[in-house]
Chain A
């Protein structure tokens, strides 16, 4: 029982990170109808930014977080302006290919160029607060992940409910042309959606990096987060959060209970991909996504 709960807690903490990554994707998709495959690479860049600001620059945690978020904002604006803006109105393949080239080539290349693509660790950077409740150990990284994720999600909810630009983004997601007629500058909305995606991605990257170090393979986390995105339904933020926790727990449980059964283990690493296939075959629009009806 203790083992089950312990795995559950680890799973929730992993799932929250998946949810953060997935949220960035969903926000971009809702606002600008662009599928952002580079999200995992933004997370990886975030992990390296955490290393730069926490270890190389030696900033305290709060300053490092702020600096990383500021970098993320600039990154989001640059990405939107120079790669996605010229493709407005282009077919879906062009946009998907653009984000693939952006992530798998440019961002990964930059990570190798700037940080050497090496394995960097900054485990000691987080405040050492850990809890033990009834035999279940909650590490400081887990605790920190949960706290920060709650702050980000709450902040975004408030942003979309009360901020003027947040409302504009919801209007754009609802109907782009009507929003434009109502005087909303849609290009700004696109830019802001990329900024938000970069910020959540970078925060997720720092959280992952603080727990297990950062390397270029971290971008595969983004591929795994697609299981979350598809399970939750590509255009549902609430679905992304719930599905994130489901997939995180399922993956940890698979690692804990199923891996001993397969010959060489490693089932956990491809578990999200199996989820992707199952979701796509059974229910392509996910748990909470809107079903897409096509007309000629």
Chain B
């Protein structure tokens, strides 16, 4: 890791620190202060976007651990969010749990289901694993839609998920829910950073780079692959629970299959195997959506022939193009580009 000039590591503690210099602390605190005062000066539209960013960040961190760090491609991330969302809604709505007890249970349930569908990963990888996880989505959504008892899941209509409550205050307003989402997103980020720089994270990276070599080196692939699935799906479960309680409703429609594709897309755009990248990718994708919302009416007015479907198709095509462009021109994602920006300012004004 390159440091700013005149900064030297003098202890292992300094070497391991995430935030090394005073400037980094200042920037982080300023950013957090901005983040947690946002509801005071942004409107409802932006608050919605920020809440969606927060929830997606949690989910994409999970996918990043699973796919970006451990190299297990998953296209069933939405399925594990379904499990999380439904578990939390059922526990709150039917069994009278409070949200704070239901969310960890939802995370655990999603993690356990993830373990089951992670089992094939012991024998297969790459494309085959994508197939297994796609199947997982369709099987899980079918189970929740049709097969599980209707008084639990609410069948095809889904199930109401009451708003969380803390010290007798119901988080009914968007602003209050925003704080909840952002606190959990920040926690998820800290947890992710610390997982990936621990022994577990290094094992994941070794498995991603070459699983046979990792096994020869004495890494228990069996345990670590399943652990990656468990951790990734726990994150998905938390995100699913947050999303269900945000909508106030848990249903399959809240977790469409395409979400799994978008989460992978966010990871590609942000940069796989980078915590910063996961956040940057989510933000870029959500801002792209907002751009489409602004652009669509203008295009619909100028080209009446494609008017009605402009928004839907434009959002799809634009997202696809962004993913394709990043795959071809910047496979390491925004995190890589961000690294260049940081390097430039680290040496500024004497960069060359």
A104 close to B (CB within 8 Å): yes
Question: Contact flags (1/0) for B300-324 with A, using CB distance below 8 Å?
Answer: 0000001011101111110111011
CA distance A172 to B210 in the complex (A): 27
B73 touches A96 (CB 8 A): yes
Which residues does chain A contribute within 8 Å of B127, judged by CB atoms? 35, 92, 96, 234
A277 touches B324 (CB 8 A): no
Which residues does chain A contribute within 8 Å of B132, judged by CB atoms? 276-277, 280
B231 close to A (CB within 8 Å): no
Which residues does chain A contribute within 8 Å of B134, judged by CB atoms? 223, 226, 273, 276
A116 touches B131 (CB 8 A): no
Selecting from B117-125, B177-185, B194-202, the interface stretch reads B117-125
Q: Which residue of B lies closest to A112 (CB)?
A: B313
Smallest beta-carbon distance A29→chain B, Å: 9
Question: Contact flags (1/0) for A111-135 with B, using CB distance below 8 Å?
Answer: 0110011000000000000000000
Which residues does chain A contribute within 8 Å of B265, judged by CB atoms? 97, 101
B261 close to A (CB within 8 Å): yes
| Contact residues of A: prevailing secondary structure | helix
B258 close to A (CB within 8 Å): yes
A262 touches B317 (CB 8 A): no
Contact of B124 (CB < 8 Å), options: A90, A273, A280: A280
Q: Which residue of B lies closest to A275 (CB)?
A: B135
Smallest beta-carbon distance B328→chain A, Å: 5
Contact of B142 (CB < 8 Å), options: A104, A226, A266, A296: A266
- For residues 233 through 270 of chain A, which have their beta carbon under 8 Å from a beta carbon of chain B? 234, 262-266, 269-270
Contact of A92 (CB < 8 Å), options: B126, B136, B155, B323: B126
A101 touches B146 (CB 8 A): no
- For residues 140 through 162 of chain B, which have their beta carbon under 8 Å from a beta carbon of chain A? 142, 145-147, 155
- For residues 122 through 180 of chain A, which have their beta carbon under 8 Å from a beta carbon of chain B? none
Which residues does chain B contribute within 8 Å of A223, judged by CB atoms? 134, 138
A276 touches B135 (CB 8 A): yes
Residues of B within 8 A of A (CB): 73, 75, 119-120, 123-124, 126-128, 130-132, 134-136, 138-139, 142, 145-147, 155, 210, 212-213, 216, 258, 261, 264-265, 268, 272, 306, 308-310, 312-317, 319-321, 323-324, 327-328, 331
Residues of A within 8 A of B (CB): 35, 37, 83, 86-87, 90, 92-94, 96-98, 100-102, 104-106, 108-110, 112-113, 116-117, 223, 226, 230, 234, 262-266, 269-270, 273-274, 276-277, 280-281, 284, 294-296
CA distance A264 to B142 in the complex (A): 10
B323 touches A101 (CB 8 A): yes
Which residues does chain B contribute within 8 Å of A112, judged by CB atoms? 309, 312-313, 316
Which residues does chain A contribute within 8 Å of B155, judged by CB atoms? 264
A280 touches B323 (CB 8 A): no
Smallest beta-carbon distance B273→chain A, Å: 11
A273 touches B316 (CB 8 A): no
Which residues does chain A contribute within 8 Å of B126, judged by CB atoms? 35, 92-93, 96
Known: A86-B328, A109-B314, A117-B312. 9 other contacts (CB 8 A): A90-B331, A94-B331, A96-B130, A110-B313, A113-B309, A269-B142, A270-B138, A281-B119, A296-B210
B320 touches A105 (CB 8 A): yes
A263 touches B324 (CB 8 A): no
CA distance A140 to B155 in the complex (A): 38
A87 touches B328 (CB 8 A): yes
Contact of A101 (CB < 8 Å), options: B147, B308, B320: B320
Contact of B131 (CB < 8 Å), options: A105, A230, A270, A294: A230
CA distance A276 to B310 in the complex (A): 36
CA distance A109 to B320 in the complex (A): 9
B212 touches A230 (CB 8 A): no
Contact of B316 (CB < 8 Å), options: A92, A108, A116, A280: A108
A101 touches B131 (CB 8 A): no
Contact of A113 (CB < 8 Å), options: B139, B317, B324: B317
A284 touches B321 (CB 8 A): no
A273 touches B313 (CB 8 A): no
A277/B135 contact (C-beta < 8 A), A37-B130, A284-B124 known = yes
A106 touches B317 (CB 8 A): yes
Contact of B324 (CB < 8 Å), options: A35, A92, A96, A101: A101
- 9 A-B pairs in the complex with CB atoms less than 8 angstroms apart: A100-B261, A100-B264, A101-B320, A116-B308, A223-B134, A226-B134, A262-B147, A263-B147, A273-B134
A87 touches B327 (CB 8 A): yes
Smallest beta-carbon distance A122→chain B, Å: 20
CA distance A97 to B226 in the complex (A): 23
A113 touches B131 (CB 8 A): no
Which residues does chain A contribute within 8 Å of B128, judged by CB atoms? 230, 280, 284
Which residues does chain B contribute within 8 Å of A234, judged by CB atoms? 127
Smallest beta-carbon distance B255→chain A, Å: 16
Closest 7 CB pairs of A and B: A105-B320, A109-B316, A109-B317, A273-B135, A113-B313, A264-B146, A112-B313
A105 touches B210 (CB 8 A): no
Which residues does chain A contribute within 8 Å of B317, judged by CB atoms? 105-106, 109-110, 113
Which residues does chain A contribute within 8 Å of B136, judged by CB atoms? 277
Contact of A226 (CB < 8 Å), options: B131, B213, B331: B131
Contact of A273 (CB < 8 Å), options: B139, B212, B323, B327: B139
